[in-house]
Amino acid sequence: MKTVSSITLVLVAAALLFHAAPAAAQKSAECLACHADASMQDAAGHSITVDESKFHSSIHGSLECANCHATIKSYPHPDKVTPVKCDTCHADEAAGLASSVHSASADHPCTSCHGDAHSIFPKTDARSAVYPLNVPRTCGNCHSNEGMAQKHGLASVYPSYIDSIHGFALSKEGLLVAANCQSCHGSHKILSQKNPLSATYKTNIPNTCGTCHAGISANYAGGVHGKAVAAGKLAAPVCSDCHTAHAILQPTESAFRTQSTPICGSCHKEKFSTYRDTFHSQLGALGGYVETARCWDCHGAHDVLPASDPRSPIAPANLVKTCGRCHVGANESFVQYQPHANAHNRKLNPALYFIRLFMNLLLGSVLTFFMIHTILWLIRSRYDQVKRKSAEGEKNA
């Protein structure tokens, strides 16, 4: 094409806004004369076909080829063409991406998430790769393979997510409001969880989850953990420490009930150890019966408060009610039971300490005495038996 009408020129200029109009842009129809051919391939064997109808229905359908492929000005064009610069129009997104964990653009071109450049749809369109219901699969293209773990030290999160309560709501129920990857991580400006600006940085997680779980987020903020985190004590747990980040389970599910007590125990070591000595733990550890009291059944889950706080479920005045949730008929005497008694601590639990000591001594003395008794008896009996047999043997001989 040698001549271009001045009208076309003006239109292209308007469409590209800030971009200097190519001196000799081509009409899309002319490009499609070749690129509509479904068998068209480049030297490396990649398809360079453009489906015209699909392209026209896409969000960029009103643009001319040259609007994006701005360096191609004439035909024939060189075999190698400059990659399209999306940031010409999408400057904010490009800036966000540049500061994100995906900034190495060679590995993460826009198309790696948005799909084929010629069939990009708005994120509200079910055909879009970034439509809420499609986001996990799109991110999962990379974040579901073991290579990610080796290359970046990142766990393969897609399988955990898709089996989680969020993943289930999204993939099975098709809930648009179910959290997908970008609900927590953002889209273009995804930052490492180590970055204080990241939505997944420890202190920001309660707010991030609170975007949807507003009620629980408020409860959490009033509890000891929420206050500690707000005061900068990063050892205190946020949502993801107990619920995990991706494999989030329904808290009433038996798997969650069995896995989460050790999570509390990873900080509350002493309390966890004494809990393990009780029937609550012994029952719970065996599975198949998950109703037994776990930490939060007594202490509360989000708004954990010390026993000294009258609002706490373990405040002395509330114990009959709290224990009574499982133990029908619990009374004042019943709730004197100590769910964290330590039979090895003479000062805290003197009665229990001496009872344990007595039982241990009883066990030790009975077993030791009879062990010696039995061993001596065995040796002597065997000695007599052998002597008797050899005597009989001599008699026979």
Partner 1 sequence: MPDLEQEASETLHHGGKGRFFMRFTREQRALHAVLFTTFLGLAATGLPMRFSQSFWARRFASAVGGFGSIIFFHKLFAVALTLAFLVHLKAILQRGIVNREKGIFWGSTSMVANWKDVKDLVGHLRWMVGLGPKPQFERYAYWEKFDYWAVFWGMIVIGFSGYAMWFAPFFARFLPGWALNAVLVIHSEEGLLAILFIFSIHFVNTHLRPDSFPMDMVVFTGVESEEEFKHKRTQEYERLAREGKLEARVADAPAVWFTNFSKVVGFIAIFIGLTLLVLTLSAYFI
Minimum Å gap between C-beta 278 and partner 1 is 7
| Residue number, 351 or 397, with CB nearest to partner 1 | 351
Strands (E), 143-262: none
Nearest to 126 by CA among 137, 117, 118: 137
Length in residues, the chain: 397
Q: How far apart are CA 154 and CA 61, in angstroms?
A: 37
* CA dihedral of residues 226, 229, 234, 240 (deg, nearest 10): 40
| Residue number, 234 or 286, with CB nearest to partner 1 | 286
Q: How far apart are CA 264 and CA 135, in angstroms?
A: 32
Residues 267-306 that bind partner 1 (CB under 8 A): 276, 278-279, 281-289, 292
Minimum Å gap between C-beta 193 and partner 1 is 32
Residue 362 found at the interface with partner 1 (CB under 8 A):
yes
Minimum Å gap between C-beta 324 and partner 1 is 9
Residues 312-331 that bind partner 1 (CB under 8 A): 327-331
Distances (CA, A) of 153 to 103, 113, 136, 162: 17, 21, 20, 20
Residue 197 found at the interface with partner 1 (CB under 8 A):
no
Residue 382 found at the interface with partner 1 (CB under 8 A):
yes
Residue 337 found at the interface with partner 1 (CB under 8 A):
yes
Which among 1-9, 29-37, 295-303, 344-352 is the span making contact with partner 1, rule CB under 8 A? 344-352
Among 10, 230, 355, 391, binds partner 1 (CB under 8 A): 355
Residue pointed to by tokens 């293209």: 141
Residue 202 gets which letter from DSSP?
Answer: G
Minimum Å gap between C-beta 389 and partner 1 is 11
Minimum Å gap between C-beta 250 and partner 1 is 19
Q: How far apart are CA 191 and CA 100, in angstroms?
A: 5
Say if CB 282 and CB 197 are below 8 A apart.
Answer: no
Minimum Å gap between C-beta 114 and partner 1 is 47
The terminus-to-terminus CA distance of the chain in angstroms comes to: 125
Encoded tokens for 157: 């999160």
Which among 5-13, 56-64, 299-307, 347-355 is the span making contact with partner 1, rule CB under 8 A? 347-355
Quote the crossing angle between the two packed helices 269-276 and 254-265, to the nearest 10°. Answer: 130
> Which stretches of the chain bind partner 1, using CB under 8 A?
276, 278-279, 281-289, 292, 327-331, 333-338, 341, 343, 349, 351-352, 355-356, 359-360, 362-363, 366-367, 370-371, 373-374, 376-382, 384-385
